[in-house]
Structure 1
Amino acid sequence: MTNVLVVYDRSAGRLLDEQEFEHRRDAFAARFETEKRYRDHANVEVVVLSAKSRADLLRTHARYFLSLDELAARMARTS
């Protein structure tokens, strides 16, 4: 299982930070500390994503990890 803390700037559409944790509890502890740092940034999203593998996260939550151009290209291939 992989647990990834993601800090994402929604207005810029880009990943600000990403940290991987072996244990979910450690990822959530880091999330709460990170949320404190970004509390005055309304467009910044702080989340913990968990999946069996990084490949699964890339498939299910691609918007956090791919650029807008990469997302558009992926969508064009699937339609």
Structure 2
Amino acid sequence: MNYFLIVYNRSTGESDIRRTFTSTRRSEAMSARFELEDLHRGDANIEIVVLGADSEQGLMKTHSRYFRSAKDMIREAVS
């Protein structure tokens, strides 16, 4: 399993995978997350997460809300 450090902007729906960590580096991933949270403290639109998945493709499938725009999600919900 890999761990992906993601910065998600709720207002724009944009995601940025900042770093990928191997399974043995989970604690480093969490430390990096906390550093980014400190940088974005007070910005309610920014969400910092560390998510685990075997691959980036798997991550995009299991946590698709971080990788689709708000317009895409609304369009899919009404169709």
Normalised-by-shorter TM-score class: 0.7 to 0.9
| Post-superposition offset of 1:17 | 4.7
For the aligned residue pairs, the C-alpha RMSD in angstroms reads 2.2
Q: What are the Cα deviations for residues 35-79 of structure 1, in whole angstroms up to 9, with x where unaligned?
A: 000002011100000012222211111121233455568x58xx8
Counterpart in the other structure of 1:36: 38
Aligned counterparts of 1:47 and 1:70: Cα–Cα separation in 2: 21
2: CA distance, partners of 1:66 / 1:17: 14
Report the TM-score, using the length of structure 1 for normalisation. Answer: 0.77
Structure 2 unaligned spans of 5+: none
> Structure 1 residue runs of 4+, over 4 Å off?
68-73
* Distance (Å, rounded) in 1 between the aligned partners of 2:17 and 2:9: 10
How many aligned positions are there? Answer: 76
